[in-house]
Structure 1
């Protein structure tokens, strides 16, 4: 009977040693047949090659005929290269001279601009001094504002320090501007106080408009409003005993009414000037236009070094025209401060009106004259005031601007997101929660419970749209957009981001609750508002944490499916190879003695987890040490009372028996272990 290679028909397998070993006539005949077939095939191949010989020789002759032409082309190419090199050198020299001329021209232009700026600075300072001498405060403040708007590099430059001072004013420009601001602020303050005392609305409005030009205080309007409230409170405290003594209990309410009317007038001047100076309406219009612009955002998978975001050209122009987020941040801070000061004032007035209204009812005092008694109810008294209406309007604008600030700042944090080497999370987590913390604490500082509740809803929405959805999209596309190694790293960083975000949002909610208690709880009237705010903040922690945990759990399951499950499946397939569960008695005893499944699975699983083996042993040992210490303290205290302490250490034989009970340790390894 012939072997398999005889029947295969492959003569390459017939070695000389195999042929010499043949003894069977059938095998010899088969080999001869195979060799005959191979010989015929070789003859056919040789005939084909010989037939193509003429064609190949003709092709070679054509190539040989092209040799002279190629030599000429090579010579021409060499000449052309030398010409090009010469031209290139000339062009390089010319372009270098042009670049040098451009550099000199740019430097000359910069010098001209600096000279013009220094001339502008000198002109402003000279005219500022002249205006101050003739008490033209509007012109003086305008020149201070123009000079302060110049580049700080010009103001502090050596050229300006040498060119601007004169024999009459020898100080450096920055010193002269600082002195002028201090002097003007002192004058404006005195004139403003005089205008308030004389109730000169024109001068009050005039000097209110001049204070921002000298930029002496960033929160000037909030401070001015505070001073107004403080003056009213002082008047009430000083005159209440006099009115009650001479006119009787309950008569002070008419004084409160008149003071509130005056407060409405003065606060309207302050707040209107604030809105004009800060261009509040223009900013709101710009934000509304930006929000109405259709935009398309593409969030690519996360990768180190940040990510790109695609926006429409129309939105790009809108972003360039939008106010800077730092400017918006300062505006929101002052709005929050105004709301806080107004809230304290309202609480003060509410308590005074309430006490006077109760005195009216007790003593049956008729002070209505022009109004019904219901109009002196504390709620109606303040809710109908002009100040309350203006504050409500400002708070509504505050919501609108704060939401834009929060969304825009979160977008910027996502845009510049990157992973620093050695970090387990990306930069956007810290950036996002810093922004959220700043906005949320600012809302709490307003002392307005409706503002706090609304801000919690805004934070929830922004987290979901600007942060959670971005991470969801990155998790979905992580394994499809990156290489395997980068995909695993990016995916685990995203999971870490979500895990850390759970802790951050809980910590943020806890800190906000504590700050809310500090802000609202001291006032008895605000206890109910404080409970309402606390409930809203609890919902922030619960809802956001649940969303983070859901996505995190889904991501972990996806990670298991992508990375762990494909590696466990082959281990199980190998372990279950030739394993049967329909057995007779002999097969059962055979499998019981060999235990192939357990051995194969342990070996395969060990190979999968071998990199964690030593760490797991170390963790197991440390955990056992902690448990042992706690058990000893629980039952015996820090030391035993008897003279002979109990021995807790196992003998070597006992230790080997314990290790032998664990299926992941081989018997040979346990026997050879050094204890």
Structure 2
């Protein structure tokens, strides 16, 4: 170990020694505080000794109290047992007394034929603890005899109730039937009572329906104008059944209790299914729906001689009314049954399960199956009616004097609205979606095709080649233009009508869904799915609007080709004849005579004046936009063939601005951005020196002229040297 290591080791030892001395010094300084703390602890220990003595005393007292409480609780439990036994004895005594009273009372009631009181005694006997009574019957002859008497009386009363009910049924004695209907639940025969009572009510429903159907058939045979007689017969059936349920619901709930209204309504629904099937069978036979639909399918358009649109319309009206009333009746029954079911359910899961069971039962009942078949007939009939009405509207298309559109648009959308709203009234989401899809197909495939054909057929063959030669007289040109503009307006009006139809259907459907907002949770879930499905189909109609808009845009292309381009061509030729290589005197003369206004703006103004009152607002605005674009593009081509002086550039700037201002004044849309390139060309032609180009915002995104075009435009100036233009850094 060398000296440096020894010194380092010594320094480390001295550092540790210094640290230890510091700690020792701190401990000595804290010794006073430690002594004070120890003194406090000593004082507290004396106090804890006293506390320990007090705790021992408290423990002894609580031990005595706990022992006393245990004795009291044992005595209370003993008293509870005694009380329970006493109550049981009292109950047994009361049962025996009730048994005696029932035994004595039932003899008198049966002898006096007071069957309500007799049934009441039997009902009271049935609520007694019969097991106890029978176990103690051996100890008392009277109890055994009473039980035997009451059991015999119960059997006798059941026979009497059945016999009396049957006799009242045969005699159609409604008062006696209702009397014994109330007795059945007292005898424990709820199902039998309901079955017999519903059988009686069903016979009344069947009898009344038979009379109504007989009258309906006689009326149909006698009067061919009976358009909705079968729907009226269905309505009478549904109203009668609803009245029965409403009238007898308090009776069932009072004498049979919660949950039995469901049994009552489902039994009654079976009769509803039978009578509905009978009416529907006669409806199909008399209206010959299947036969006529088959003929339509086989004969196509020639079937109009067998079944016309008016006859189809009347059948659709009747079919819709039947479906609407049946759906209303089923919703009524569902609400009553589910409300009754909920009274007997304790949990939400049980409510959901029972609700789904009821929904499935009613959705698969005979009436629901009839409605399903009826909707199938309806859709086929409605499709035939829609197609025929559409073709009639197209064939009878006329333009009334002073009208901007033809009758076809109003007629087609009137029929569409009628058919779709009629379908909406069925409240059947599947039928509604199917009819909307059928309507969409008609609009997209047939209607758009008709609109396009009328646009193209409005222009005579060879029109564009001969319009400049004067071969066509002005009357022929005006007539072609008038027919074309009406067809163009038809497209625009169709889009607006379609949007209005979508809004109307959306409002109608929301109104229908809100009327069913008080349904249970299961039904609400189903309604939500139906609502989403229908709303999706309605929103699909916006796609049809885009298809019609595509036809409209094609129509404007035709307008540009056959009407705007000849005008623009003439204006461009006139513009090319106006000199822009002007001297000072030439500039003054140009401003005085203003040849641009005379040869360009005046013809455009005349054209717009002639066409403005014949176009709908949107079409007019779009036409002005297309005219502006066409003029600008044509003028650009002419400009590159012209020569300009500084004064000519000033004249050109004034001309561009005057044309832009004029077109802006006749439209609510902005057209100034279409003149951006022309104004920038004018700016280049108005430069005093070529080098001033670099002072322009040519690198801005708003600058539309390319460097090559800028050099070409600058070369149009007679006074600009080619070498100077080439030296520009663009």
TM-score per shorter chain, which class?
Answer: 0.5 to 0.7
Q: Distance in 1 between matches of 2:602 and 2:317?
A: 59
- The CA distance in 2 between the partners of 1:523 and 1:253, in whole Å, is 21
Q: CA deviation at 1:204?
A: 6.7
Q: Distance in 1 between matches of 2:339 and 2:482?
A: 66
Report the 3-state secondary structure (helix = DSSP H, G, I; strand = E; otherwise coil) of the residue aligned with 1:549.
Answer: helix
- CA drift of 1:428 comes to 1.3
Within 5 Å, which residues of 2 pair with 1:633-648?
Answer: none
1:539 Cα deviation after fit: 2.9
Between Structure 1 and Structure 2, how many residues are aligned? Answer: 394
**Cα 1:606/1:376, change in 2 over 3 Å:** closer
Matches within 5 A, 1:316-355: 318-355=302-339
Instruction: Assess if the C-alpha contact under 8 Å between 1:437 and 1:508 holds in 2.
Output: yes
TM-score by length of 1: 0.52
Greater RCO, CA 8 A, separation 6+? 1
In the other structure, the counterpart of 1:253 is 262
Gap change, CA 1:375 and 1:480, over 3 Å in 2: same
1:18-417 mapped onto 2 (5 Å cutoff): 196-197=204-205, 199=207, 206-215=214-223, 217-291=226-300, 315=301, 318-362=302-346, 377-417=357-397
Residues 205 and 241, structure 2, Cα contact 8 Å, conserved in 1: no
Shift of 1:339: 0.9
Query: Which residue matches 1:477?
Result: 457
Query: Which secondary structure does the structure 2 equivalent of 1:517 belong to?
Result: helix
Name the CA shift for 1:321/1:234 in 2 (closer, same or farther; >3 Å): same
Cα deviation code 1:568-621 (max 9, x no counterpart): 1232244235979xxxxxx7978995897996544322231243799999xxxx
Question: 2-side partners of 1:616 and 1:395: how far apart?
Answer: 49
Task: Decide whether the 8 Å contact of 2:262 with 2:337 is kept in 1.
Answer: yes
2:403 to 423, 432, 435: 423
Secondary structure of 2:446's counterpart equals helix
How much does 1:418 deviate?
1.8
Give matches, 1:485-524, under 5 Å. 485-524=478-517
1:207 and 1:548, CA in 2 relative to 1: closer, same or farther beyond 3 A?
same
The Cα shift of 1:194 comes to 12
Q: Is the contact between residue 419 and residue 427 of structure 1 (CA under 8 Å) also seen in structure 2?
A: yes
Distance apart, 1:252 and its partner CA = 1.8
Rounded to whole Å, the distance in 2 between the matches of 1:595 and 1:461 is 63
Which residue of 448, 462, 472 corresponds with 1:468? Answer: 448
Give, in angstroms, the shift of residue 493 of structure 1.
0.8
Instruction: Report deviation, 1:376.
Output: 7.5
Deviation at 1:409, TM superposition (A): 0.8
Aligned residue number for residue 119 of structure 1 = none
- Residues 502/578 of structure 1: CA separation in 2 closer, same or farther (3 Å cut): closer
- Residue 332 of structure 1 and its aligned partner are, at CA, apart by 0.2
Unaligned runs of 5+ in 2: 1-200, 464-475, 613-653, 662-730
Q: Deviations over 1:313-358 (max 9, x none)?
A: xx5xx24533011010000011111111111111112222323333
Structure 2 distance, partners of 1:660, 1:558, is 28
Shift of residue 203 of structure 1? 6.2
Aligned match of 2:601: 606
Distance 1:411 1:462 in 2: 11
Distance in 1, matches of 2:380 and 2:277, equals: 21
Deviations 1:213-258 (A, max 9, x none): 2338531211221121122222222222222222221122211111
* Residues 475, 491 of structure 1: 8 Å contact kept: yes
SS of match in other structure, 1:419? coil
Gapped regions of structure 1 (runs ≥ 5): 1-192, 292-314, 367-372, 581-586, 618-658, 667-675
Aligned equivalents of 1:244, 1:194: Cα separation in 2:
20
8 Å contact kept, 2:498–2:545: yes
**TM-score, length-scaled by structure 2:** 0.49
d(CA) in 2 for partners of 1:567, 1:591: 31
* RMSD (Å) for aligned C-alpha atoms: 3.8
Give the secondary-structure state (helix, strand or coil) at the position aligned to 1:480: coil
Larger Cα Rg: Structure 1 or Structure 2? Answer: 2
Contact 1:225-1:270 within 8 A present in 2 as well:
yes
Distance 1:204 1:661 in 2: 83
- Map of 1:71 onto structure 2: none
Measured in 1, the distance between the counterparts of 2:657 and 2:208 equals 93
